[in-house]
């Protein structure tokens, strides 16, 4: 995994233009381009704060700012309370330069997104955010806020069913080529299940990050016969994978089944979803059956996993 990510990172640097002179269509080095963008976004930022933000030596930032001030792009003035602190701001000339940078970058991003399926746009955004956050956390900067925690909540909340269907549609379109037929099956199944959610043998759990649903799982205690819990609609959003949401959801649903006295938990998936299979097996599931199926619109090797539940003596 490491080498492919390194390769993709090098390609990203090249395609964004960091290896060429005139980044973002202006005659400035990359550090100066980023400095101007941050000064615009944080009017009144100081040189020391800019140094921390850009992860550059204070002496390098000082020299760069001096050139930008001399060029008429940045203005600095003593703060009212401390003459040694000089808040930075863009001049009219600097704002014109920044507007040109924004125009260039937006065209560049828009052109790339046009060559991607709309369903993958969110994946690109969340992937870049996760990767950037992970790299940033590696700096070890003091006071850096940890990523928002993911919590698990039981029961329905407005929008949860639609969000569950959306996550399934986006993920399986990319991973298996499923289309409208699959999304419709998921949505109709959720709609039917919602009418039975109030019964004690059924349950729904949501993984939440800052109030947004980023994962779901359900236990249907009725549709597979007496004593069988059917684990359904297990999904974690692309941007939340690797953060423990999947483990929390599965362990919570398994604990529910044990408390309810089910004999076993069954789930259906299909071959090739290696990360999900690892989670299932870590929770005690084992492969019990395989068969070819086309019910989702594309032929796949469907798999049934089973986890027996030991009865208390």
pLDDT digits (tens, 9 = 90+) for 93-102: 878 887 888 8
The vertex-128 CA angle with 122 and 131, nearest 5°, equals: 135
Q: Crossing angle, helix 58-70 and helix 30-41, to 10 degrees?
A: 80
Q: What's the average model confidence in pLDDT over 198-203?
A: 95
Whole-angstrom Cα distance, residue 49 to residue 88?
10
Q: Within 13 A of 124's CA, how many CA atoms are on the CB side?
A: 14
Listed in order, strand segments (DSSP E) in 186-227 are 203-209, 212-220
Counted residue by residue, the chain has a size of 313
- Write the DSSP symbol of residue 311: P
145 has pLDDT over 60: no
Calculate the alpha carbon distances from 220 to 162, 201, 214, 253, 274 in Å. 18, 7, 20, 10, 24
Please state the pTM of the whole predicted model: 0.56
21 vs 87: which has the higher pLDDT: 87
Q: Using the Cα atoms of residue 289, residue 293, residue 296 and residue 301 in order, give the sign of their dihedral.
A: positive
Whole-angstrom Cα distance, residue 161 to residue 239?
19
Q: How confident is the model at residue 69 (pLDDT cuts 50, 70, 90)?
A: confident
Mean pLDDT, the chain, integer: 83
Work out the percent of the chain whose per-residue pLDDT is above 90: 37
What's the pLDDT tens digit per position in 166-191? 999 988 888 888 899 999 999 999 99
The vertex-286 CA angle with 285 and 290, nearest 5°, equals: 125
Q: How confident is the model at residue 85 (pLDDT cuts 50, 70, 90)?
A: low
Among the listed residues 109, 118, 117, the one whose alpha carbon sits nearest the alpha carbon of residue 16: 109
Strand partners, 12: none
Two tokens, residue 276: 């999900």
235 vs 272: which has the higher pLDDT: 235
SS3 112: helix
Whole-angstrom Cα distance, residue 274 to residue 65?
50
Q: What's the average model confidence in pLDDT over 139-154?
A: 70
266 has pLDDT over 90: yes
Q: What's the average model confidence in pLDDT over 31-38?
A: 80
Q: How confident is the model at residue 156 (pLDDT cuts 50, 70, 90)?
A: very high
Q: What's the average model confidence in pLDDT over 185-211?
A: 95
């Amino acid at each position: 995994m490491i080498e492919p990510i390194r390769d993709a990172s090098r390609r990203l640097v090249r395609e964004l233009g960091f290896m060429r002179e005139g980044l973002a269509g202006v005659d400035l080095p990359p550090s100066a381009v980023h400095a101007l963008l941050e000064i615009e976004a944080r009017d009144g930022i100081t040189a020391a704060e800019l140094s921390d933000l850009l992860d550059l030596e204070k002496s390098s930032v000082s020299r760069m700012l001096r050139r930008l001030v001399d060029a008429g792009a940045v203005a600095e003035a003593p703060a009212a309370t401390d003459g040694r602190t000089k808040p930075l701001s863009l001049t009219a000339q600097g704002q014109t330069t920044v507007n040109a940078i924004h125009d260039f970058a937006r065209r560049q991003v828009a052109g790339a997104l046009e060559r991607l399926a709309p369903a993958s746009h969110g994946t690109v955004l969340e992937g870049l955010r996760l990767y950037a956050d992970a790299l940033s956390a590696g700096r070890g900067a003091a006071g850096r806020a940890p990523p928002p925690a993911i919590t698990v909540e039981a029961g329905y909340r407005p929008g949860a069913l639609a969000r569950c269907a959306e996550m399934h549609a986006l993920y399986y379109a990319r991973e298996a080529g499923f289309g409208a037929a699959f999304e419709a099956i998921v949505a109709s199944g959720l709609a039917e299940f919602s009418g039975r959610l109030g019964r004690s043998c059924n349950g729904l759990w949501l993984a939440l990050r800052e109030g947004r649903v980023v994962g779901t799982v359900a236990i249907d205690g009725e549709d597979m016969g007496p004593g069988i819990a059917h684990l359904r609609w297990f999904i974690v959003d692309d941007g939340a994978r690797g953060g423990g949401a999947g483990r929390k959801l599965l362990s919570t649903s398994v604990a529910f089944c044990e408390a309810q006295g089910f004999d076993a938990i069954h789930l259906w998936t299909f071959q090739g979803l290696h990360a999900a299979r690892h989670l299932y097996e870590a929770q005690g599931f084992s492969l019990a059956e395989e068969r070819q199926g086309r019910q989702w619109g594309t032929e796949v090797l469907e798999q049934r996993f089973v986890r027996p539940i030991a009865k208390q003596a």
